[in-house]
Structure 1
Amino acid sequence: MTNAAVLFALLAQIALTLSLYPLLLKRKKAARAAGLVDEQRAPLDDDAWPDPVRQVNNCISNQFASPMLFYVLLLTLFITASVNLLTLVLAWAYVASRAAHAWVHVHSNYVPLRRNLFAGGLVMLIILAGQLLIALL
Protein backbone atom coordinates (compact mmCIF):
# COMPACT_ATOMS: atom_id res chain seq x y z
CA MET A 1 0.00 0.00 0.00
CA THR A 2 1.29 3.43 -0.89
CA ASN A 3 0.39 6.75 0.65
CA ALA A 4 -1.02 7.83 -2.73
CA ALA A 5 -3.67 5.08 -2.68
CA VAL A 6 -5.90 7.38 -0.66
CA LEU A 7 -6.08 9.77 -3.60
CA PHE A 8 -8.23 7.27 -5.50
CA ALA A 9 -10.99 7.70 -2.90
CA LEU A 10 -10.63 11.45 -3.24
CA LEU A 11 -10.95 11.17 -7.02
CA ALA A 12 -14.00 8.93 -6.62
CA GLN A 13 -15.71 11.61 -4.52
CA ILE A 14 -14.91 14.19 -7.21
CA ALA A 15 -16.31 11.83 -9.85
CA LEU A 16 -19.49 11.42 -7.82
CA THR A 17 -19.95 15.18 -7.71
CA LEU A 18 -19.31 15.59 -11.43
CA SER A 19 -21.64 12.69 -12.27
CA LEU A 20 -24.61 14.62 -10.87
CA TYR A 21 -24.37 17.45 -13.41
CA PRO A 22 -25.62 15.46 -16.43
CA LEU A 23 -28.64 14.39 -14.36
CA LEU A 24 -29.30 18.02 -13.44
CA LEU A 25 -29.12 19.06 -17.09
CA LYS A 26 -31.43 16.20 -18.10
CA ARG A 27 -34.03 17.13 -15.49
CA LYS A 28 -33.82 20.83 -16.38
CA LYS A 29 -34.32 20.04 -20.05
CA ALA A 30 -37.33 17.84 -19.27
CA ALA A 31 -38.84 20.50 -16.99
CA ARG A 32 -38.44 23.17 -19.66
CA ALA A 33 -39.91 20.89 -22.34
CA ALA A 34 -42.92 20.23 -20.10
CA GLY A 35 -43.39 23.96 -19.45
CA LEU A 36 -42.86 23.54 -15.71
CA VAL A 37 -40.29 26.33 -15.31
CA ASP A 38 -41.03 29.97 -14.49
CA GLU A 39 -38.43 31.33 -16.92
CA GLN A 40 -38.58 34.84 -15.47
CA ARG A 41 -37.58 33.64 -12.00
CA ALA A 42 -35.41 30.66 -12.97
CA PRO A 43 -32.03 32.45 -13.14
CA LEU A 44 -32.20 33.62 -9.52
CA ASP A 45 -34.82 31.54 -7.74
CA ASP A 46 -34.68 27.78 -7.20
CA ASP A 47 -38.42 27.81 -6.51
CA ALA A 48 -38.96 28.49 -10.22
CA TRP A 49 -37.95 24.89 -10.91
CA PRO A 50 -40.00 21.76 -10.16
CA ASP A 51 -39.00 19.49 -7.29
CA PRO A 52 -37.08 16.88 -9.34
CA VAL A 53 -34.70 19.61 -10.56
CA ARG A 54 -34.32 21.11 -7.09
CA GLN A 55 -33.59 17.65 -5.66
CA VAL A 56 -30.56 17.23 -7.90
CA ASN A 57 -29.48 20.84 -7.43
CA ASN A 58 -29.63 20.42 -3.65
CA CYS A 59 -27.74 17.14 -3.91
CA ILE A 60 -24.97 18.89 -5.84
CA SER A 61 -24.86 21.63 -3.21
CA ASN A 62 -24.47 18.96 -0.54
CA GLN A 63 -21.35 17.72 -2.35
CA PHE A 64 -19.70 21.02 -1.41
CA ALA A 65 -20.43 20.73 2.32
CA SER A 66 -18.97 17.84 4.35
CA PRO A 67 -16.97 16.52 1.38
CA MET A 68 -14.80 19.65 1.65
CA LEU A 69 -13.71 18.40 5.08
CA PHE A 70 -13.05 15.00 3.50
CA TYR A 71 -10.75 16.57 0.90
CA VAL A 72 -8.84 18.56 3.51
CA LEU A 73 -8.45 15.57 5.82
CA LEU A 74 -7.31 13.20 3.08
CA LEU A 75 -4.87 15.66 1.55
CA THR A 76 -3.42 16.50 4.96
CA LEU A 77 -3.06 12.81 5.83
CA PHE A 78 -1.42 12.30 2.42
CA ILE A 79 0.97 15.26 2.79
CA THR A 80 2.02 14.14 6.25
CA ALA A 81 2.51 10.54 5.04
CA SER A 82 0.02 9.38 7.67
CA VAL A 83 -2.14 7.16 5.46
CA ASN A 84 -2.68 3.63 6.72
CA LEU A 85 -5.14 0.82 6.11
CA LEU A 86 -7.72 2.38 8.43
CA THR A 87 -7.48 5.63 6.47
CA LEU A 88 -8.19 3.80 3.22
CA VAL A 89 -11.12 1.85 4.66
CA LEU A 90 -12.65 5.00 6.14
CA ALA A 91 -12.07 7.01 2.97
CA TRP A 92 -13.79 4.44 0.76
CA ALA A 93 -16.59 3.94 3.27
CA TYR A 94 -17.13 7.71 3.30
CA VAL A 95 -17.31 7.80 -0.51
CA ALA A 96 -19.75 4.87 -0.46
CA SER A 97 -21.92 6.67 2.11
CA ARG A 98 -21.91 9.83 -0.03
CA ALA A 99 -22.79 7.85 -3.16
CA ALA A 100 -25.67 6.15 -1.34
CA HIS A 101 -26.77 9.51 0.09
CA ALA A 102 -26.73 11.06 -3.39
CA TRP A 103 -28.69 8.13 -4.85
CA VAL A 104 -31.39 8.44 -2.22
CA HIS A 105 -31.41 12.23 -2.58
CA VAL A 106 -32.05 12.24 -6.34
CA HIS A 107 -34.48 9.30 -6.34
CA SER A 108 -36.77 8.58 -3.37
CA ASN A 109 -35.44 11.50 -1.30
CA TYR A 110 -36.47 9.57 1.81
CA VAL A 111 -35.10 11.86 4.51
CA PRO A 112 -34.72 9.35 7.38
CA LEU A 113 -32.47 7.18 5.21
CA ARG A 114 -30.59 10.21 3.88
CA ARG A 115 -30.05 11.39 7.46
CA ASN A 116 -28.63 8.02 8.50
CA LEU A 117 -26.30 7.90 5.50
CA PHE A 118 -25.13 11.43 6.23
CA ALA A 119 -24.57 10.59 9.89
CA GLY A 120 -22.53 7.52 8.95
CA GLY A 121 -20.32 9.62 6.70
CA LEU A 122 -19.93 12.21 9.43
CA VAL A 123 -18.74 9.54 11.86
CA MET A 124 -16.10 8.50 9.32
CA LEU A 125 -14.95 12.12 9.01
CA ILE A 126 -14.66 12.40 12.78
CA ILE A 127 -12.53 9.25 12.93
CA LEU A 128 -10.35 10.53 10.06
CA ALA A 129 -9.92 13.81 11.95
CA GLY A 130 -8.90 11.82 15.02
CA GLN A 131 -6.37 9.92 12.93
CA LEU A 132 -4.92 13.20 11.71
CA LEU A 133 -4.74 14.60 15.22
CA ILE A 134 -2.90 11.51 16.45
CA ALA A 135 -0.53 11.69 13.48
CA LEU A 136 0.29 15.32 14.22
CA LEU A 137 0.99 14.79 17.92
Structure 2
Amino acid sequence: MLEKVEDFNMERVMEEFERVTKDAERIQRETLKRILEDNASVEYLLNLGLNGRTDPESFKAFVPLVTHKDLEPYINRILDGDTSSVLTGKPITAMSLSSGTTQGKPKFVPWNEELFDTTVQIYHTSFAFRNRFSISSLVYPFPQ
Protein backbone atom coordinates (compact mmCIF):
# COMPACT_ATOMS: atom_id res chain seq x y z
CA MET A 1 0.00 0.00 0.00
CA LEU A 2 2.10 2.95 1.20
CA GLU A 3 5.82 2.91 0.59
CA LYS A 4 8.04 2.83 3.64
CA VAL A 5 9.62 6.21 4.29
CA GLU A 6 13.10 4.80 3.82
CA ASP A 7 12.06 3.44 0.38
CA PHE A 8 10.79 6.83 -0.78
CA ASN A 9 13.13 8.18 -3.44
CA MET A 10 12.46 11.88 -4.05
CA GLU A 11 14.78 12.03 -7.04
CA ARG A 12 13.04 9.11 -8.73
CA VAL A 13 9.62 10.69 -8.10
CA MET A 14 10.74 14.04 -9.53
CA GLU A 15 12.38 12.39 -12.56
CA GLU A 16 9.19 10.46 -13.33
CA PHE A 17 7.11 13.63 -13.02
CA GLU A 18 9.49 15.51 -15.32
CA ARG A 19 9.37 12.64 -17.83
CA VAL A 20 5.58 12.50 -18.06
CA THR A 21 5.09 16.26 -18.14
CA LYS A 22 7.46 16.79 -21.07
CA ASP A 23 4.71 15.50 -23.36
CA ALA A 24 1.66 16.34 -21.25
CA GLU A 25 -0.81 16.37 -24.16
CA ARG A 26 0.08 12.82 -25.20
CA ILE A 27 -0.01 11.59 -21.60
CA GLN A 28 -3.41 13.22 -21.04
CA ARG A 29 -4.83 11.63 -24.21
CA GLU A 30 -3.45 8.20 -23.23
CA THR A 31 -4.78 8.58 -19.70
CA LEU A 32 -8.25 9.59 -20.91
CA LYS A 33 -8.27 6.67 -23.38
CA ARG A 34 -7.29 4.22 -20.62
CA ILE A 35 -9.94 5.61 -18.25
CA LEU A 36 -12.59 5.38 -20.97
CA GLU A 37 -11.53 1.83 -21.85
CA ASP A 38 -11.68 0.81 -18.18
CA ASN A 39 -15.12 2.39 -17.82
CA ALA A 40 -16.66 1.81 -21.27
CA SER A 41 -19.55 -0.22 -19.88
CA VAL A 42 -20.47 1.88 -16.84
CA GLU A 43 -24.07 2.97 -16.63
CA TYR A 44 -23.31 6.69 -16.34
CA LEU A 45 -21.32 6.84 -19.59
CA LEU A 46 -23.78 4.57 -21.42
CA ASN A 47 -26.65 6.86 -20.34
CA LEU A 48 -24.78 9.81 -21.87
CA GLY A 49 -24.52 7.96 -25.20
CA LEU A 50 -20.76 7.38 -25.20
CA ASN A 51 -21.45 3.68 -25.97
CA GLY A 52 -17.92 2.40 -25.53
CA ARG A 53 -16.14 5.15 -27.46
CA THR A 54 -12.67 5.84 -26.08
CA ASP A 55 -11.50 8.81 -28.15
CA PRO A 56 -11.20 12.33 -26.71
CA GLU A 57 -13.46 13.85 -29.36
CA SER A 58 -16.37 11.57 -28.42
CA PHE A 59 -15.72 12.21 -24.75
CA LYS A 60 -15.93 15.99 -25.32
CA ALA A 61 -19.06 15.59 -27.46
CA PHE A 62 -21.02 13.31 -25.13
CA VAL A 63 -19.82 13.95 -21.58
CA PRO A 64 -20.79 17.35 -20.18
CA LEU A 65 -19.18 19.14 -17.28
CA VAL A 66 -21.09 18.08 -14.19
CA THR A 67 -21.46 19.00 -10.57
CA HIS A 68 -21.63 16.67 -7.61
CA LYS A 69 -25.40 17.19 -7.60
CA ASP A 70 -25.58 15.64 -11.10
CA LEU A 71 -23.85 12.50 -9.78
CA GLU A 72 -25.74 12.23 -6.48
CA PRO A 73 -28.36 9.75 -7.74
CA TYR A 74 -25.57 7.38 -8.81
CA ILE A 75 -23.61 7.94 -5.58
CA ASN A 76 -26.74 7.31 -3.51
CA ARG A 77 -27.28 4.00 -5.29
CA ILE A 78 -23.72 2.99 -4.41
CA LEU A 79 -24.30 4.09 -0.80
CA ASP A 80 -27.45 1.93 -0.78
CA GLY A 81 -25.38 -1.11 -1.73
CA ASP A 82 -25.53 -1.19 -5.53
CA THR A 83 -22.30 -2.93 -6.58
CA SER A 84 -22.92 -2.78 -10.32
CA SER A 85 -20.80 -0.60 -12.59
CA VAL A 86 -22.72 2.59 -11.95
CA LEU A 87 -19.94 5.20 -12.12
CA THR A 88 -16.77 3.14 -12.51
CA GLY A 89 -15.76 -0.21 -13.88
CA LYS A 90 -13.60 -0.80 -10.81
CA PRO A 91 -15.18 -1.60 -7.45
CA ILE A 92 -15.85 1.29 -5.09
CA THR A 93 -13.85 0.40 -1.97
CA ALA A 94 -14.66 3.41 0.21
CA MET A 95 -16.70 6.56 0.49
CA SER A 96 -15.25 9.71 1.97
CA LEU A 97 -16.95 12.91 2.98
CA SER A 98 -15.86 16.22 1.53
CA SER A 99 -15.12 19.14 3.84
CA GLY A 100 -18.49 20.69 3.10
CA THR A 101 -17.03 24.03 2.06
CA THR A 102 -19.09 24.07 -1.14
CA GLN A 103 -22.73 24.90 -0.40
CA GLY A 104 -22.07 24.23 3.30
CA LYS A 105 -22.87 20.54 3.17
CA PRO A 106 -20.41 17.61 3.11
CA LYS A 107 -20.74 15.36 0.07
CA PHE A 108 -19.96 11.69 -0.39
CA VAL A 109 -17.06 10.98 -2.73
CA PRO A 110 -16.60 7.40 -4.05
CA TRP A 111 -13.09 5.92 -3.92
CA ASN A 112 -11.51 2.88 -5.50
CA GLU A 113 -7.99 1.46 -5.33
CA GLU A 114 -6.86 3.30 -8.47
CA LEU A 115 -7.99 6.66 -7.10
CA PHE A 116 -6.21 5.90 -3.83
CA ASP A 117 -2.98 5.00 -5.67
CA THR A 118 -3.22 8.15 -7.80
CA THR A 119 -3.76 10.30 -4.72
CA VAL A 120 -0.72 8.77 -3.02
CA GLN A 121 1.32 9.47 -6.16
CA ILE A 122 0.19 13.11 -6.11
CA TYR A 123 1.21 13.45 -2.47
CA HIS A 124 4.58 11.85 -3.17
CA THR A 125 5.21 14.23 -6.07
CA SER A 126 4.10 17.25 -4.09
CA PHE A 127 6.26 16.22 -1.13
CA ALA A 128 9.30 15.63 -3.33
CA PHE A 129 9.13 19.00 -5.05
CA ARG A 130 8.29 20.96 -1.90
CA ASN A 131 11.17 19.41 -0.03
CA ARG A 132 13.89 19.06 -2.64
CA PHE A 133 15.83 21.98 -1.20
CA SER A 134 14.65 22.00 2.40
CA ILE A 135 15.67 18.35 3.01
CA SER A 136 19.29 19.15 2.25
CA SER A 137 19.18 21.93 4.81
CA LEU A 138 17.83 19.44 7.36
CA VAL A 139 20.61 16.99 6.66
CA TYR A 140 23.31 19.68 6.70
CA PRO A 141 21.89 22.44 8.93
CA PHE A 142 25.25 24.17 9.36
CA PRO A 143 27.64 25.47 6.72
CA GLN A 144 30.33 22.92 5.91
Q: TM-score, normalised by structure 1?
A: 0.35
Answer 1 or 2: which has greater strand percent.
2
